[in-house]
């Protein structure tokens, strides 16, 4: 997993290196071809090799798929599927936000979206009773989970997640993004602002009424305004919701 994650997050990776690492693993190749041929990508011709997947989808999208494949097993636990779905939706939102901003793709921010709440999975694995109690309390009191965790555990899932990224030898910036996903301020870097906005939009997508006036809308708008989105632009962005959910489910 470490090698695949490294390749998936190396902005300078070559076409041949990417092909080589994926092709070496049969299960991975099969998975890559299944995703690349999913209706979401709507390719007119069948993609039957890793080389053509990269040629058709582009290096960056293949890296995103590889990142998701490398990380999916880390989310296999009791609350894993829900957290994995949230990570996928957050990751896909980062792409839409970057596109709407009209800036070039940002390194690591897709993987940061996938991984940002990995600390919750790790805490559930290591201290299930304590973390479940924190999750229940946060839900009941409608407070950020990280705040409740710090009160009861003396640490939070963002810190634990960032530590895990460092242990997996992921790029330092990726670990920082995961570590700061609950800390926000005026002077945040663009990649962190994008992650905050994607996380907020992913949470909003869970709401039955995600638009203006609905629960969570004001908080989401506040994060989007930090990226200079107007309210109309935020509403416009939200129309991508169906696409985001479809793409997130194409990753399986």
Q: Does 199 participate in binding Fe ion (rule CB under 5 A)?
A: yes
Question: Does residue 217 contact residue 225 with C-beta atoms inside 8 Å?
Answer: no
| Best CA proximity match to 120, nearest among 211, 181, 58 | 181
Closest CA to 112 of 56, 53, 158: 158
Report how far residue 191's alpha carbon sits from residue 181's, in angstroms, rounded to the nearest whole number: 11
85 binds Fe ion (CB under 5 A): no
Question: Least Å distance between CB 86 and Fe ion?
Answer: 6
Torsion of Cα atoms, 49 then 50 then 56 then 61, to 10°: 150
* Candidate ranges 96-104, 114-122, 134-142, 225-233; the one touching Fe ion (CB under 5 A): 114-122
**Residue 117 found at the interface with Fe ion (CB under 5 A):** yes
With respect to Fe ion, which residue has the nearer C-beta, 117 or 247? Answer: 117
Beta carbon of residue 216, minimum distance to Fe ion (angstroms, whole number) = 12
Interface size with Fe ion, residues (CB under 5 A): 2
Comparison of 64 and 199: residue with beta carbon closer to Fe ion: 199
Question: Is there a contact between 37 and 23 (Cβ–Cβ < 8 Å)?
Answer: no
User: Residues 152-191: x/- map of binding to Fe ion (CB under 5 A)?
Assistant: ----------------------------------------
Q: Which range, of 22-30, 72-80, 199-207, 221-229, touches Fe ion by CB under 5 A?
A: 199-207
Q: How many CB atoms lie within 10 A of CB 172?
A: 12
Contacting residues toward Fe ion, per CB under 5 A: 117, 199
């Amino acid at each position: 997993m470490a090698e695949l994650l490294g390749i998936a997050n190396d902005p300078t990776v070559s076409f041949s290196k990417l092909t080589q690492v994926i092709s070496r693993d049969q299960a991975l190749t099969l998975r890559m071809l299944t995703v690349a041929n999913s209706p979401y990508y709507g390719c007119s011709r069948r993609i039957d090799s890793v080389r053509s997947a990269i040629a058709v989808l582009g290096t960056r999208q293949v890296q995103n798929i590889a990142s998701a494949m490398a990380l999916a097993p880390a989310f296999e636990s009791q609350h894993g599927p829900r957290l994995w779905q949230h990570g996928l939706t957050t990751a896909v939102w980062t792409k839409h936000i970057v596109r709407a901003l009209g800036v070039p793709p940002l390194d690591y921010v897709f993987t940061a979206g996938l991984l940002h709440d990995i600390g919750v999975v790790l805490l559930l694995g290591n201290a299930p009773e304590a973390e479940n109690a924190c999750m229940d309390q946060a839900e009941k009191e409608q407070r950020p989970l990280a705040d409740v965790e710090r009160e009861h555990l003396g640490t939070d899932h963002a810190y634990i997640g960032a530590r895990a990224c460092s242990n997996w030898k992921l790029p330092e910036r990726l670990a920082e993004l995961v570590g700061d996903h609950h800390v926000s301020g005026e002077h945040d870097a663009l990649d962190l602002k994008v992650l905050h906005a994607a996380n907020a939009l992913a949470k909003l997508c869970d709401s039955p009424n995600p638009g203006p006036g609905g629960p969570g809308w004001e908080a989401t708008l506040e994060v989007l305004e930090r990226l200079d989105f107007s309210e109309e632009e935020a509403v416009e962005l939200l129309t991508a919701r169906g696409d985001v959910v479809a793409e997130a489910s194409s990753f399986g």
